[in-house]
Amino acid sequence: MSQRTLHSLFKPKSVAIIGASNGKNRAGNVVMRNLLSGGFSGPIMPVTPKYEAVLGVLAYPNIEALPLKPDLAIICTAASRVPAIVERLAQFGCKVAIINASGMAMQTDDEGNNLLELTRQYAKRYGMRILGPNSLGMMLPNLGLNASLAHTTALPGKIAFVSQSAAICTTVLDWANNKGIGFSSFISLGDATDIDFDELLDFLGRDSRTNAILLYVDSINEKRHFLSAARAASRNKPILVIKSGRSLEGSTAAKLHTGGIGGNDAVYEAAFRRAGMLRVNDLVELFAAVETLAHSTPLLGERLAILTNGGGPAVLALDQLMLRGGKPAALDEETIQALNKILPNTWSGQNPVDIGGDSDAQRYEQCLEILMSADVADAILVLHSPSALGDSVEIAKRITSVIENNPRRNRVNILTNWSGEDSAYRARKHFNKAGVPTYRTPEGAVGAFMHMVEYRRNQKLLQEVPQSIPDNIPTDAQLARQRLCEALSKNRKVLETHESSAILAAYGLNTIETHFATTAQEAADIAEHIGYPVALKVQSPDIHHKSDVHGVMLNLTTQADVLHAAEAIVSRVHSLNEHATIEGLIVQKMALTAGAQEIRVAVINDPVFGPAILLGEGGSEWQPSTDASVALPPLNMTLARYMVIQALKTHKLKDRHLPLGLNMNALCVMLTQISHLIIDCPEIAGLDLNPVLCAGEQITLLDVNIQLQESAADNPNRLAICPYPKELEEYATLKNGLQIMLRPILPEDEPKHLAFDNSLSDEDRYKRYFGVRSKMTHEEMAVLTQIDYAREMAFIATAKGEDGDDITLGAIRASIDPDNTEAEFAMAVRSDHQGIGLGKLLLEKLITYYKANDTEVLTGFTMFENRNMASLAKSLGFTVTFDMEEHLIKMDMQLKPTQT
């Protein structure tokens, strides 16, 4: 994968059309027409042996006859001819090809070779990139490039659109053109056999011409690359995603459409949320969100004021706001007094500001001026219902005039909804031209506003500092894995509660006291030993939910009860399922359930994103997509809290407010420890804890089912998000005898990292940041501590302070380009701990890490004043050069031997 070759996709200087045609309905004719009408300034070169010229442009009989190597080629031929064309183009030196043909994955050539596989091999051999096959093409309106089969051209703008569906491309294009909304790039991915979402997100995330990114997704191929790229890009600009396949049937259809793997929709939802993207449910929502992104400034807060000439639409808007968890603005006394002076005394006196059905342009203008100037709202929704007393177009003009001239226009978002058809249509057209978001309904406007709010909340959540798990909670991966491997060696693929307790206890997860009996008498003896009351449950590999076959008896208080219950259970199970193998009986001490609440926690293995953690109500009947809140590991305390809040908000979990019910902290610790267990133990294929008894701070797992698998060789890659690499922790001793720990940075390190940064002397800060800079903000520190281990690394050195707490003494970090070619490092050591070998240890650790990572070059810059850094780098094998013009010292190390 190479971002360098993507440069040719986004900034091509010349284009060749293979299979160009003068035939009216041929793909090669449509593409030629689109290229010629777009205003592209580079050479457009048709290749066809059939015609001397295509649409008046001199044609070339074959690829070899082209006068120059094209940056971009569009292949408009039948699928059977594509592999040979790709091979010739790649040999000729073309950088990128767009393939329109469909169905290549299902076709073979005369020798039985798969056409798509053959095409891929040829392109890879010569380093050529492919967009498609089954791609509609792409448009770069800023370059006048329309290299597509679309029926119309996109307008220039600041939004990038990437879609796996060609039909969705043309629908969005039609709508956007009607609204006057433009695009920085418009890309049809097709089957994404080579260039995929992740590389495009990396490019568009850095593209200065793109302010927002829209994705239409059928399926994801590379989970980790996709989420890494999305997390990085969403820090800089909003990413909206519409995902097909919400239903099982839709998912199957999407799979057939792009040939991708069908994953669980709820897991997709969790993945999008975790990457800081915003999911919209349908095209209507997508269009509303595009409208907002195209025209609004970033939202600074959540308070919405509503200005209206009709009570009904305002109530609809307010209802929608409250249902979506929004925040209505509260008017202060000063604002109310200002409005009192210009409004009739019948006005609402609060938000929504109902200014009366007889309102004219002047009244709207004055009220909007007051609301924008007062610091009471972060956004204002202006509603207008048709009225004979106010010209709707004139009111729209006055509204845009206020927005343009108010000094707070960049601090307050304005949204509009002009109801009705003819007169409203002209007003909406005016808003479109003026760049003011406008919607057909009050609910649509509020929905678009709440998308902005949810995006903002998502970003804030991703920057929150997680609290640490209490020190007294164990995490013993060695013990857990040992027990799991023992079970696998005995060919056990499912572990029940009595076999799981030691594994779960290694992570501080408590099961109820549980014993296994092979006979009714043995069960009765165990009950006598552990004390009454007890529960008795059937143990059978053929029964997933014991209660469904009445295989559970509770509150047994005597030996006779246990013997009678055992016989009754066995006979009931056999009458319902005569072939069920009964291995024995499980005897459990009855849990004290008074005042406590039962919930369910599970781990499933999603075919796309790997392990996912589910949280919902107890019970045997549940569908992960509808009945559970889902999160991807790794979880920390903040992400676990977010998961619980999501579950409560969407009623997947109900807080019954029982005396000993749900305790947020205890729930978060349990979920975080389950996440650690799943990350550390690849032998666990699935996990079902049902029910889990929540009694305040005491959480007990009553029934456990662990499904096992042979540990896969690529264990780290089974997770969609790269977990904390614990294996990189190591201890070292400095020259002065101080013992330190070297380890990757964690989100929880933020407060200590801020203290470390503040401890640097003015001189050291100057050298580290290449100039004078103020203290770090929380947002900046979150970026430094919440890193994506898949594409950057930061090591810190910590030591115990006098109070026994860890202190950060030094840090080194490097971020890597998407091609894993070059990592650029920066380092700082606490001013009072310099000269004792700390810098050398940190730099050596980084070198070792990037060598193991197969990175080609490690590079760094420092100021002329920082000669010590340059000397250290030189002593470790860096090539040190002086850039007199920039007044910088450059340090380079070749990590991989150069290939001759």
Q: Which CATH number covers residue 27?
A: 3.40.50.720
Residues 301, 437, single domain; the answer is yes
Render pLDDT for 177-200 as a digit per residue (tens, 0 to 9).
988 889 999 999 999 999 999 999
- The alpha-carbon radius of gyration of the chain (Å, integer) is 32
Q: What is the pLDDT of residue 788?
A: 92
| Domain enclosing residue 4, as ranges | 1-135
Q: What is the pLDDT of residue 458?
A: 81
Q: Which of 838, 804, 808 is nearest to 734 (CA)?
A: 838
Which band of pLDDT confidence, cut at 50, 70 and 90, is reported for residue 257? very low
Q: What is the pLDDT of residue 262?
A: 57
pLDDT at 95 over 70: yes
Within a domain: residue 545?
no
pLDDT at 250 over 70: no
Higher pLDDT, 481 or 887: 481
Last residue of a domain, one of 231, 254, 282: 282
Rounded to an integer, the average pLDDT of 527-546 is 86
Within a domain: residue 700?
no
- Spatial separation of the C-alpha atoms in residues 456 and 444, rounded to whole Å: 19
Residues 170, 110, single domain; the answer is no
Q: What is the pLDDT of residue 298?
A: 81
Tokens standing for residue 451:
């998308």
Within a domain: residue 801?
yes
Written as one letter, the residue type at 176 is A
CA 215 to each of CA 126, 248, 530, 537, 566: distance values in angstroms, whole numbers, following the listed order: 30, 21, 58, 49, 57
Residues 275, 328, single domain; the answer is no
Question: Which CATH number fits the domain that encloses residue 228?
Answer: 3.40.50.261
Q: Is residue 419 helix, strand or coil?
A: coil
Render pLDDT for 785-825 as a digit per residue (tens, 0 to 9).
999 998 899 999 999 988 888 999 999 999 988 778 899 99
Within a domain: residue 535?
no
Residues 747, 882, single domain; the answer is yes
Within a domain: residue 144?
no
Number of Cβ within 10 Å of residue 573's Cβ equals 20
Q: Sign of the CA dihedral 169, 172, 176, 177?
A: positive
Tell me phi and psi for residue 678, to 5 degrees: -65, -40
Burial class (CB in 10 A: 0-12, 13-18, 19+), 649: exposed
Q: What is the pLDDT of residue 256?
A: 46
37 contacts 148 by C-beta, under 8 angstroms = no
- Spatial separation of the C-alpha atoms in residues 132 and 422, rounded to whole Å: 42
- Spatial separation of the C-alpha atoms in residues 509 and 539, rounded to whole Å: 22
- Spatial separation of the C-alpha atoms in residues 44 and 162, rounded to whole Å: 24
Q: What is the 3-state secondary structure (H, E, C) of 128-165?
A: CEEECCCCCEEEEHHHCEEEECCCCCCCEEEEEEEECC
Render pLDDT for 821-851 as a digit per residue (tens, 0 to 9).
899 999 999 999 999 999 999 999 999 999 9
Domain total for the chain? 4
Rounded to an integer, the average pLDDT of 574-600 is 85
Q: Report the percentage of the chain scoring pLDDT > 90.
A: 70
Within a domain: residue 475?
no
Higher pLDDT, 809 or 251: 809
Question: Which CATH number fits the domain that encloses residue 735?
Answer: 3.40.630.30
Last residue of a domain, one of 282, 307, 332: 282
Q: Which of 114, 54, 65 is nearest to 88 (CA)?
A: 65
Which band of pLDDT confidence, cut at 50, 70 and 90, is reported for residue 259? very low
Residues 738, 770, single domain; the answer is yes
Q: What is the pLDDT of residue 543?
A: 77
Q: What is the pLDDT of residue 603?
A: 96
Q: What is the pLDDT of residue 320?
A: 96
Burial class (CB in 10 A: 0-12, 13-18, 19+), 790: middle
Q: What share of the chain is helix, strand, coil (3-state, %, to 5)?
A: 40, 25, 35
Render pLDDT for 332-360 as a digit per residue (tens, 0 to 9).
999 999 999 999 999 999 999 999 999 99
Bridge-based pairing state of the strands 879-883 and 792-800: unpaired
Which residues neighbour 264 within 8 Å (Cβ) at sequence distance 6 or greater?
604, 606, 608, 612, 624, 625, 630
Higher pLDDT, 316 or 166: 316
Q: What is the pLDDT of residue 281?
A: 86
Residues 731, 762, single domain; the answer is yes
Q: What is the mean pLDDT of the chain?
A: 90
Render pLDDT for 644-673 as a digit per residue (tens, 0 to 9).
999 998 899 998 888 888 999 999 999 999
Q: What is the pLDDT of residue 261?
A: 56
Residues 60, 200, single domain; the answer is no
What pTM was estimated for this model as a whole? Answer: 0.89
Q: What is the pLDDT of residue 258?
A: 46
DSSP letters spanning 97-123 = EEE----GGG-B-TTS-BHHHHHHHHH
191 contacts 167 by C-beta, under 8 angstroms = no
291 contacts 223 by C-beta, under 8 angstroms = no
Within a domain: residue 160?
yes
- Find where tokens 């290229």 sit: 35
Instruction: List 74's β-bridge partners, or say none.
Output: 17, 98
Within a domain: residue 278?
yes
Q: How many CA atoms lie within 13 A of 67 on its CB side?
A: 7
Residues 384, 304, single domain; the answer is yes
Region for residue 525 given its phi and psi (left: phi exceeds 0; alpha: psi -120 to 50; beta: otherwise): alpha
Q: What is the 3-state secondary structure (H, E, C) of 711-732?
A: CCCCHHHHCCCCCCCHHHCEEE
Last residue of a domain, one of 454, 482, 506: 454
Residues 781, 734, single domain; the answer is yes
Render pLDDT for 437-482 as a digit per residue (tens, 0 to 9).
999 999 999 999 998 898 888 888 777 778 888 878 889 999 999 9
Residues 182, 40, single domain; the answer is no
Q: How many CA atoms lie within 13 A of 320 on its CB side?
A: 21
pLDDT at 138 over 70: yes
822 contacts 816 by C-beta, under 8 angstroms = yes
Which band of pLDDT confidence, cut at 50, 70 and 90, is reported for residue 4? low
Residues 275, 302, single domain; the answer is no
Residues 273, 301, single domain; the answer is no
pLDDT at 884 over 90: no
